[in-house]
Amino acid sequence: MQRLFSTFANGWPGAGILVLRLASGAALLYLALTAWQATPHLASIAPQVIAAAAGMFLLVGLWTPVAGTLTAIVELWISFSVGGDPATSLLLAALGASLAMIGPGAWSCDARLFGRKRIEASPRDSSRASSR
């Protein structure tokens, strides 16, 4: 992850990324739940199930570039394969692609697992060093 993102945004930008992740993930889960209630056949709602799995990863900020890319691909698939208004799917595809490019932010599992670590070095004890 460090190779993909030079920093994990903190402060106001990090809060904005957190809001984007939470809104996208919640919307993906909600749409999958409503699709499942309308049609309980797994084969017909497979794209929504895949999008919901990516949404769970976005909610916690784990594997954000992969989850965002998967969200964008699946939502484009949904918008072109399902009849009706594709506006919601296109919006979620754009949000997924944006999160894949921006990164997870400082308030995510990715930042905790793969973020830069700060190592505090304690001062050496001079009396112990001189006795050698």
Which residues does 111 contact at the CB level (< 8 Å), separation at least 6? 8, 61, 104, 105
On whether the CB atoms of residues 93 and 72 are closer than 8 A, the answer is yes
Q: Tell me, what DSSP letter sits at residue 119?
A: -
Distance between alpha carbon 63 and the CA centroid of its chain, in Å? 6
On whether the CB atoms of residues 93 and 76 are closer than 8 A, the answer is yes
Give the number of other Cβ atoms within 10 Å of residue 80's Cβ: 10
The whole-model pTM stands at 0.80
Q: Please give the pLDDT value at position 70.
A: 97
Question: For residue range 27-65, what is the model confidence (pLDDT) as tens digits?
Answer: 999 999 998 888 877 777 899 999 999 999 999 999 999
Which residues does 116 contact at the CB level (< 8 Å), separation at least 6? 2, 7, 8
Q: Is the pLDDT assigned to residue 73 strictly greater than 90?
A: yes
Give the number of other Cβ atoms within 10 Å of residue 131's Cβ: 7
Q: Please give the pLDDT value at position 110.
A: 86
Q: Please give the pLDDT value at position 43.
A: 75
Q: Please give the pLDDT value at position 91.
A: 96
Question: For residue range 84-116, what is the model confidence (pLDDT) as tens digits?
Answer: 789 999 999 999 999 999 988 888 988 888 876
123: its two tokens: 């001062």
Of residues 112 and 70, more confidence is placed in 70
